[in-house]
């Protein structure tokens, strides 16, 4: 009886081993335009120039399919699952059995698939065929891959982003991955930033997304706080004041990093909320040594025409600047004075 049980276990293990070998065996490497696909993929340069993008755009749908296969081959979900199971159970099995198991492939932390995903992002709408493969990469063990995969769906960060044009069913499947990325505890603000940005494309899921974004407003990174504020303003603008968004964005506006500070100035203008707080902060930013921040503040102040009496003197001072911010301040000043004059002459 014991002998039969042992034989059964050995046979079962052999079947499992054979199945694993089949699942993990190297995938075929077909030719594409006269060269193996792997050669094409190795030649892709991360953040490559327009020539690289143009070449793959000219390849059309077949080229996109090659790139999609490369994303899957680099970190296929089956490989991912096997690594997880192997790490969990290898220590429990006898050594001779472990040696019979296929070695789990290592996690790729550079090159494919991040280079490939970035290239796909640059292909725009032509890359929609690769969306399923990139969606699977959202669960990669490597945070850089996950961050790149999120960017693929939000590329352009405007109305043309792929997330804005996907079928609702497919789009909804991605939401848990974005929420998981926003709430991750790992020290990677870039991943949380990209995920917070992605959530602005889910106004139809406001009840689920809003609490996540409100929590992200307290993130340790000003970039994540800014993205959370932008997304919340898009999907639930009626909650901006209640969530305390304006004071949070004002703190970002005062950040020494001008690349995030100018976005805060722009958002204050777009929200047009709590002028008693926003207008003084924007006026102060007119004196920022960075021309981009000061110029954006001047444009944002135009959205607060009701506070023209307070804003005009500040713009007059800023108009004396010799950089581009001075030019924007003069333009804003002319528009605001014109508005004020029109209102003064209007019949009561």
pLDDT digits (tens, 9 = 90+) for 16-64: 555 555 455 566 788 999 999 999 999 999 888 999 999 999 999 999 9
For residue range 150-209, list pLDDT tens digits in order: 999 999 999 999 999 999 999 999 999 999 999 998 778 999 999 999 999 999 999 999
**CATH 2.60.40 is the classification of domain 244-341:** no
The secondary structure of 283-332 as a DSSP string is HHHTT-SSHHHHHHHHHHHTT-GGGHHHHHHHHHHHTT-SSHHHHHHHHH
For residues 106-122, average pLDDT: 78
Phi, psi for 36 (deg, rounded to 5): -60, 145
The candidate with the shortest Cα–Cα distance to 122, out of 56, 24, 45, is 56
Name the packing angle between helices 222-235 and 245-253 (round to 10°): 140
pTM: 0.81
Two tokens at 312? 């005009």
CA–CA dist 310, 281 (Å, integer): 12
- 289 burial class (0-12, 13-18, 19+ CB within 10 angstroms)? exposed
CA–CA dist 326, 121 (Å, integer): 37
Between residues 24 and 100, which one has the greater pLDDT?
Answer: 100
Cis preceding linkage at 113, omega within 30: yes
Quote the pLDDT of residue 86: 61
For residues 203-232, average pLDDT: 97
The secondary structure of 136-174 as a DSSP string is HHTT-SSHHHHHHHHHHHHTTSSTTSGGGGS-HHHHHHH
Q: Is 27 helix (H, G, I), strand (E, B) or coil?
A: coil
Check: CB of residue 300 under 8 Å from CB of residue 266: yes
Under the banding of pLDDT at 50, 70 and 90, the label for residue 14 is: low
Quote the pLDDT of residue 16: 54
Contacts of residue 284, defined as CB under 8 A and 6 or more positions apart, other chains included, come to: none
């Amino acid at each position: 009886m014991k002998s039969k049980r042992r034989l059964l276990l050995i046979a079962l293990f052999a079947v499992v081993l054979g199945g694993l070998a089949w699942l993990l065996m190297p995938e075929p490497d077909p030719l594409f335009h006269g060269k193996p696909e792997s050669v094409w993929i190795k030649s892709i340069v991360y953040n490559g120039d327009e020539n690289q993008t143009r070449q793959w755009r000219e390849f059309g749908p077949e080229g996109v399919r090659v790139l999609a296969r490369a994303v899957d081959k680099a970190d296929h979900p089956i490989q991912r699952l096997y690594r997880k199971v192997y790490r969990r159970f290898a220590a429990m099995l006898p050594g001779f059995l472990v040696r019979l198991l296929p070695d789990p492939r290592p996690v790729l932390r550079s090159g494919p698939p991040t280079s490939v995903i970035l290239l796909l992002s640059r292909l725009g709408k032509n890359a929609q065929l690769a969306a399923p493969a990139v969606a699977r990469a959202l669960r990669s063990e490597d945070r850089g891959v996950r961050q790149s995969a999120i960017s693929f769906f939000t590329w352009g960060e405007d109305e043309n982003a792929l997330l804005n044009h996907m079928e609702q069913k497919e789009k909804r499947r991605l939401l848990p991955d974005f929420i998981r990325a926003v709430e991750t505890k790992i020290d990677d603000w870039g991943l949380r930033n990209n995920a917070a940005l992605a959530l602005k494309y889910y106004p139809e899921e406001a009840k689920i997304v809003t609490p996540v974004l409100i929590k992200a407003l307290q993130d340790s990174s000003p970039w994540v706080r800014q993205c959370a504020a932008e997304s919340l303003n898009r999907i639930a603008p009626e909650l901006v004041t209640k969530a305390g968004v304006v004071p949070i964005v004002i703190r970002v506006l005062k950040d020494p990093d001008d690349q995030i500070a100018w976005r805060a100035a722009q958002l204050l203008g777009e929200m047009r909320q709590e002028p008693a707080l926003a207008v003084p902060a924007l006026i102060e930013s007119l004196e920022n040594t960075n021309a981009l921040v000061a110029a954006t503040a001047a444009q944002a102040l135009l959205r607060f025409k009701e506070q023209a009496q307070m804003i005009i003197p500040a713009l007059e001072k800023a108009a004396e600047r010799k950089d581009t911010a001075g030019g924007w301040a003069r333009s804003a000043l002319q528009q605001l004075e014109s508005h004020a004059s029109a209102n003064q002459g209007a019949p009561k």
